[in-house]
Structure 1
Amino acid sequence: MSASERYVLGRALDWLAEGRRVALATVIQTWGSAPQPVGSQLAIDAEGNFLGSVSGGCVEAEVITEAAEVIASGVPKALEFGVEDNTAWSVGLACGGAIRIFVEPLEGGRGREPGGVLHRIISDIEARQRVALVTQLATGVRSLAYSPDDLGQDLAPALEDAFRRDKSMALAGSDGEVFINIFNPTIRLVIVGAVHVAQPLVPMARALGYDVVIVDPRSAFATEERFGNVTIAREWPDEALPKIGVDGRTALIALTHDPKIDDPALIYALSSDAFYVGALGSKQTHAKRLERLRQEGVSSRDLQKIHAPIGLDIGAQGAAEIALSIIAEITATQRGKGNGRR
């Protein structure tokens, strides 16, 4: 779940708390060159105020109009827009794709708990707990699922796949069509080493919505002057990492070239669920690193998890291009494009 998605959902709940009547529009299916991905959301109140986006501006006006009817009736509605739809053309969806949008009231209607389910989603995400919002599209009734066991046998495989691919989806269930909206914890990037490469890497990662933490016990390197408003842990990795937490939505990279700092960080990360572990250095440097880690008892299987030399081979020169290659490899790995290697 990105920071922008958290903001839209959080503001919708704030509006409810203020006594406003609110609808939430969610992209539930796309075809072709759709402007926004499945799961994108737009919050609308009864006065026509809105936040978020379901089409990058193409069909928002039409969705806001439909949302007013949904708020008034308390009955959810599915909308479709495509290039062969005259309405879609008139509101500007000329990108060659098509989208399906589910508009639901956030209060009222049989089987609803105003804001309750959504509040729990926000709490779960803050606790870095993955969760799926499962909506019965015929009725708008919502429920939460944390593991495949929370759904019937017909939907369990789809839910596990959706969690793994970080991809929301609509599909047919035994009780009718459902939409599974995935809310995975925000990807966390732990940068061990407040080095020169880390300076362009931080804004790149934050632009992708990552939570970024820098770990470096060297106070001269880990400064706000060099990195701005980013979380900095000025401790040794074996002290900092257990406090930070390294889970399945965490990427950790070691950049210092100093074995006293990098090696403990890598040992910790390799014993964790981190989806990506990378280390800066040449092939020769990495070979020496592997030998040290073997002597520390790290298994050959775990050593193979290290992406080193770090980054995709794009012929990078200079800190900014090296940072780009690193963030590209992390993205490729997280999206399941092979193992992100060359």
Structure 2
Amino acid sequence: MHVPDGFIDAPTSLATGAVAAAAVAVSLRGARRELDERTAPLAGLVAAFIFAVQMLNFPVAAGTSGHLLGGALAAILVGPYTGVLCVSVVLLMQGILFADGGLTALGVNITNMAVVTTVVAYGIFRALVKILPRTRRSITVAAFVAALLSVPSAALAFTLMYAIGGTADVSIGKVAGAMVGVHILIGIGEAAITALTVGAVIAVRPDLVHGARDLGQRLQLRVNGELVDAAEPVGPEPVAARTSRRGLWIGGLLTSLVLAGFVSFYASADPDGLEKVATDHGIDEKAEDHAYADSPLADYGVKDVDDARLSGGLAGVIGVGLTVVAGTAVFWSVRRRRTGADTSPAGTSV
């Protein structure tokens, strides 16, 4: 759902840019309560994983594809404030390095894909967690439903923005119906990816999943021959916990590199939901070329590398690497600094 330049007029783009900037500023402050030395690297990994999975367009209807937006996944794994920042980092990297999403439309894209998806998804997720049994399966089910509903919510948000500042004279009713219809289908894919990923992390380290704080069963680690609750303050992080966390990070990074560097070659080449609706309904009438359309990594390929598989794979690997570095740097800088009276990581009581 990356909106290119020219879809939305300048005043609306400026307004959404202000909204996005305010949301990022609030999220930077809120992320300090969600992040610490243990969870900041995980947030960087989440951003890199979202970047990788967004390269995997999957077919949803005849001639239409979709891809992960990532707001629900990020919010559940690392918290809503950090989740907004995760997706924003991805969008910034995509817009500047890969000519994906217009630069003048960056505020539109952050508002739609980072803010709306995260706020809607996390609100639905927390509501479901409160009424469902306190089990790992409930967390996964809540993640599925939240992710599913977050995608058409973003589609509606875009339609509202287009109704206010669209550059073509089109039927907003028809656009809304088409956008919501196709993005419900895309939401099913989003929900499956989100639920599978959240379930996999919970199975390994539920104490690191922000949305699993209310689980009744705590993760236990064997330290010096004794079982210790991983969420209890026990001074320095136990070696077993540190090793487990490092293994999760390495495994997640390798998975992201494989997805972006190899699996992405087999992604659907069909236009995504927004592109399809834009073509069918004339929204793209005044679309503009990206300012960085000739950049070395534009369109997720390395310039002057003729082999399509190698070009796309290298671009994906570079994107994952740059995103994990940029994301980790951001989250490390805003992390909550632990004190002697506060040795447990934010959001790890489960």
TM-score range, shorter chain: under 0.3
| Greater strand proportion | 1
Query: Using CA pairs below 8 Å that are at least 6 residues apart, which structure has the higher relative contact order?
Result: 2
| Greater helix proportion | 2
TM-score by length of 1: 0.28
